[in-house]
Structure 1
Amino acid sequence: MKSKGRLSAALHALLHMAERGTPMTSEELAQCLHTHAVVVRRTMAGLRDAGFVVSERGHGGGWVLTRDLASVTLLDVHMAVDEPPPGAALVTPVVPECLVEQAVLKALDASLRQAADLLTKRLGQVTLADLARDFHAGMANHANHQKKAGHAV
């Protein structure tokens, strides 16, 4: 999974873990995310610190969810993986003493703050359970499409 941030990777990993229902190693999650196990461990550390997952040692061990999907919002995960707040540092001055640049940045800053506030609010409204429902609906739709096309599901 190609992504510019850890939020997408963390959400992807959490949903794979929920679907599996048994512990998943960093290596298994890395295969799901098309990345390296080190990247997974770094991401999972933030989720562990936030109390969303634990790591079980030994044979059959791995990462395990500790919270119900309905109790975790996208904003919770966003904060756990320690990404900058939505909209943070989107506008930086190149020539701070330029009055034209100051006027442009002032206008952009206000708009970007409003957009960031809306994004933060929306992330706080969507849960992992919502994502899981969307995934299951997509799978059901895919299976129905395959049946209609005469393919084995």
Structure 2
Amino acid sequence: MRRDSRLSRILHVLIHMAEHEEPLTSEAVAAFLSTNPVVARRLMAGLRDAGFLTSKKGHGGGWELAAPLEAITLADVFHALGDPAVFAFGPTEDQPDCLVEQAINERLAATLDDARAMLLARFGEITLADINADFESKLKDSPWTGKPEFCG
């Protein structure tokens, strides 16, 4: 089963946005995400609607951060992406009248709900500023001396 990497990829784009002074075009975001600009705009629109990004059309336009990194948590980005599934497995409905399946589904669903709640609570404690600080620390310890480029 293919892993959903949208959260990681969008976080990567957002940290790069913080390092660049000019807006990122949908084409640049799409190239990084290995998708087309329509899909990139759809993903970024959730963040714009949540107030974390702005977008401008036309020459010189693109996507820019509308909130400081300290004000955006992993949970915020997760929710702006439409609350994607956290787990690739879950209850089944193959035999809904089977009492064994019902018992399994109840326990599995409750356990997964608890795990999801704990994960999202932790996501709410981590800001993009925390991630950016980790990046800055890695950059400081790196032999590389150039300006961070958008690594798409």
Shift of 1:66: 0.6
Could you say if the C-alpha distance between residues 31 and 3 of structure 1 is closer, same or farther in structure 2, counting changes exceeding 3 Å? farther
| Match runs of 1:18-33 below 5 Å | 18-33=18-33
Q: Which runs of 5+ in 2 are unaligned?
A: 146-152
SS in 2 for 1:60: coil
Q: Which residue of the partner structure matches residue 120 of structure 1? A: 120
Percent identity, aligned pairs only? Answer: 47
TM value normalised by structure 1: 0.81
Contact preservation (8 Å) 2:7, 2:81: yes
| Match runs of 1:2-151 below 5 Å | 4-84=4-84, 86=86, 90-143=90-143
Shift of 1:141: 3.4
Q: Give CA-to-partner distance per residue, 1:55-111, whole Å, 9 cap, x none.
A: 123322211111000001111111112124646983232211111111212221221
Which one-letter code corresponds to 1:8 in the other structure?
Answer: S
Q: CA RMSD in A?
A: 2.4
Which one-letter code corresponds to 2:107 in the other structure?
Answer: A
Distance 1:141 1:91 in 2: 46
Could you say if the C-alpha distance between residues 3 and 85 of structure 1 is closer, same or farther in structure 2, counting changes exceeding 3 Å? closer
Asked which structure has the greater RCO (Cα within 8 Å, sep 6+), the reply is 2
Distance 1:90 1:74 in 2: 23
Structure ranking higher in helix proportion: 1
Per mean C-alpha deviation after superposition, the further-off stretch among 49-58 and 133-142 is: 133-142
Distance 2:106 2:112 in 1: 10
Distance 1:39 1:121 in 2: 28
Per mean C-alpha deviation after superposition, the further-off stretch among 120-129 and 92-101 is: 92-101
Contact preservation (8 Å) 2:53, 2:67: yes
TM value normalised by structure 2: 0.82
Contact preservation (8 Å) 1:74, 1:126: yes
Which one-letter code corresponds to 2:94 in the other structure?
Answer: V
Say how many residue pairs are matched: 144
Distance 1:70 1:41 in 2: 24
